[in-house]
Amino acid sequence: MTPAPAVTTHYRPEEARAREQEGARIGVLRLTGWCGVIEHHVLVIGETPKRCRITVPEGAGAIPLPDGRRLHPGDTALVPRHAVRFEQPDQPSETGGTP
């Protein structure tokens, strides 16, 4: 009986993160608590019909999630879509001034 060939995996986390962040959009995670609304900047790397897959940008601190978890930079989590607001870049007005 011959031994089974060794299975090699070519998982490279740095390449996976780079691929995920190519299509990432900047968003704001809004957490509502007894003290009001707290907003955290996140990267939205994927979406499902009811949830967004988010990650914390490198260099940011950990984000507390409502279920007691803490999301550290590089970690991903699924959160409800209503908790994420997408930032729109500032559009210059056509009139050139403020009304």
pLDDT of residue 9: 43
What confidence tier does 21 reach under pLDDT thresholds 50, 70, 90?
low
pLDDT digits (tens, 9 = 90+) for 30-49: 988 888 988 998 999 999 89
DSSP string, 29-80: EEEEETTEEEEEEEEEEEE-SSEEEEEBPTT---EE-TTS-EE-BT-EEEEE
Domain boundaries, the chain: 21-86
